[in-house]
Amino acid sequence: MLSVKSKTVLVSQPPLVEMGLPYLPIMWGIFKTYWENYGTGKDYVRWLSPINQVAEVSTLLRPYQDTSIDVLVLSCYIWNWKLQCLIAQQIKALHPQCLIIAGGPEPDYKDVDFFKKYPYIDMVAVKDGEITFTKILKKVLEYDDTGELIANKNLFGDISGLYLPGTDGKGHIYTGPTEIPTEFYHSPYIEQSAYYQEMLSSISSDVIVIWETNRGCPYKCSYCDWGSNTMSKIRQLPMERIKAEIEWFGQMKIGFVMSADANFGMLPRDMEIADLLIAANKKYGFPKYFSYNTAKNNPDRALTIANKFLNTGLLSAHVLSIQHTNREVLAATNRSNISTQKQYEVARQLMEDGIPVYVQLILGIPGDKYEYWKACFSDLMEWGIHTYYWVFPYNLLPNAPAAEPDYIQKWEIETVDRYVLLNHGMRLRGPFDPLTTKSRLIVKTKTFSSDDWVKMNTYAAYIKSLHNCSVTQLIAIYLRFTHNIPYDRFYNDLFDNFIQQINPARNWYQAVQENYQAYLANDDAIAFMDIPQFPQFEYQIEPSHWIFIQICLQLEYFFDTLKEYLLQRYPDFRNLESVVEYQKQLIVLPSYDKSKGKIFTTNFDWITYFTTARRLVSYTPLAQPQCIPNTVIKVSDVSWTDEGLTLPFNWGNGNEEERWIKWFHTMVFGRNSSYKNNFQILEIQQQNALVAHG
């Protein structure tokens, strides 16, 4: 029976701020919509405007200072966990009768001491929350005094999907498997449209919406906690709702749609959904972008969808969630049911179609080794992928399979809690925002030591700088296709015998290695580096970008030593000296004046050679480039274009330091790519033929 007293509900979901755009509050919409359709006594619930930004707690709670809050719902992720705890603590102090429910992937509800550590949280709801929360709210409405429920939480024992504090503060009580919804007829965006429209009217920028077309994931990768819905049956949202939401996105001018599906492209109907998004974009100009997690075992469909989105501008690059290329490592992380061969087929076709890619890799997977990790990069090169390798540290999520005690014991896992930034490679100097939550990183297992972990990070930084930024990429490609030197042989030798042994590279190697050692040893460290040549520069730099900057600051010195080393290492390879010089000449520096261009000489037609090599996605012997003595190459680039973005080469007319700093922002930060860092518009003047180098 309902009480006569109405209740107020506040949903808190501070978003991820690294995207730089506001989000529409989806969890508020989901809970409110489900309650209004399936709850009882909806007129007795007052839904407060949700907390949907990151700020000081006092600022976030100011709008509610004169309001009694009966129920607080926390949607908790790694990026907002610390802030959510502060919000909960403050609200519990102000409103002791407030029932506080935490959900999402971050609360470590399996920890028997969880409620001792977080006494202001009354319960944790796991997996899908709609049915669980609706039953909780129904229970709350049965009592005039919510405090009575808080004092006697076993009254919630008949609601499945909850973790409750144990009796006398000991351990916790699990109420049984979550009851999950199987029907999704009601759209939160459409049914709460009035609120969202009011919110949109006050925002001048694009906004992000989180959007789902299905729930569940058939895989069980050990590192993943996809809403605790891994290794589960796919539950599809009805197409009628999906069509209506896409139309709503277009009408509301939603700029960025971020898919919450674990594997978009897995289902045949995803082709139709892609077409509907494209149609809305053509009709309204919105959405502008669609971000999604690609299906892993459906290469043909994934490629077709990627081409559709790229051709219409809804996607700027295709993300390949490779994580690793070694079968043993993939098996150790329960990813062996995702075919490496199918991933390779997708990669090969992407390269043949000229589609930009991001390759996601995870550093620190149990079962990995330093040698396996190095081979992972050379495998990608052999697949024809030479652009951005996006390396993530292994973040041990509290409710992922890898966090289970048996898994930790099996692999002898050791972790550290550290700040992790996954932005564009730079951060302002200074202490971290106290609201920033640290990530729990795997830094040692029975297959790699903490020293190996440092070496793996250092090697990855150098590969991203040397190969992705195309400092040595063209040299490596030439040696591979014309002299059959495998990429792993070239880079392992270069790393061991040049980078670590010969200055100036040796000094940089030591600095990067010490940076990761300090990151491992210091609880408050961040794996970003200062640029010593520019003490007034206010940013710290991600190591691969730092290496690239150091090389460019001493380009002649670096290439002189590189050329000397390579000629000694490969004395019988004719034209090696020429390709090293050609690679050096293609690197864009702040001394370049786009109004004048640049000329340099070579004795070979490297333009045609690398145009041909770029089309190859597997080893195919290439003949030496055509000899054209004293050829003059004219460079006429005025900008770079990559991943759908174009930026002009504009570093102003200031002093040298000012030009370098503008060059940093234009050329270095963001994606590591030869299309940014190497000239692309090259002309052999004698032949008067313009040939795009790419």
CA dist., res. 543 & res. 584, Å (int): 21
Place of tokens 């930026």: 647
**CB atoms < 10 A from the CB of 38, how many?**
16
Token look-up 């640290």 returns: 438
Q: Based on DSSP, count helices (H) and strands (E) in the chain, helices before strands.
A: 25, 25
Report the SS3 class of residue 174. Answer: strand
Given this model, what pLDDT does residue 50 score? Answer: 98
**From start to end of 1-91, where are the E strands?**
7-12, 45-47, 71-75
Could you tell me the CA-to-CA distances from 263 to 239, 256, 286, 319, 575 in Å, in that order? 17, 18, 23, 12, 46
Q: How far is CA 119 from CA 52, 89, 101, 111, 165, in A?
A: 24, 9, 12, 13, 9
CA atoms lying within 13 Å on the CB side of residue 153? 23
Q: Distance between CA 566 and CA 572 in Å, rounded?
A: 11
Chain centre distance of CA 625: 39
What angle (nearest 5°) sits at the alpha carbon of residue 230, between those of residues 226 and 232?
A: 135
Question: What is the pairing mode between strands 289-291 and 318-323?
Answer: unpaired
110 vs 398: CA distance, rounded Å = 8
- From residue 209, alpha-carbon distances to 27, 250, 285, 564, 681 in Å are 11, 12, 16, 54, 39
Q: 512-557: per-residue pLDDT in tens?
A: 999 999 999 999 999 999 999 999 999 999 999 999 999 999 999 9
| Residue 83 confidence (pLDDT) above 60 | yes
Calculate the alpha carbon distances from 465 to 455, 565, 673 in Å: 15, 19, 9
List residues bridging with 360 in a β-sheet. Answer: 390
Q: Which of 669, 617, 610, 614 is nearest to 645 (CA)?
A: 669
Q: For the segment 6-65, what is each residue's pLDDT rounded down to a tens digit?
A: 999 999 999 988 777 899 999 999 999 999 999 988 889 999 999 999 999 999 999 999
Count of beta carbons in the 10 Å neighbourhood of residue 148: 11
User: pLDDT digits over 317-371, tens only?
Assistant: 888 888 999 999 998 888 765 677 777 788 888 888 878 888 999 999 999 999 9
Q: Which residue has the tokens 């030496």?
A: 624
Domain residues of the chain, as ranges?
A: 7-174
Task: Give tens-digit pLDDT for 233-261.
Answer: 899 999 999 999 999 999 999 999 999 99
More confident residue, 548 or 171: 548
What are the strands, taking DSSP E only, across 519-677?
539-541, 598-604, 627-635, 639-642, 645-648
Tokens of 107: 């609360």
Homologous superfamily assigned to 7-174:
Cobalamin-binding domain (3.40.50.280)
Q: Is the pLDDT of residue 492 over 70?
A: yes
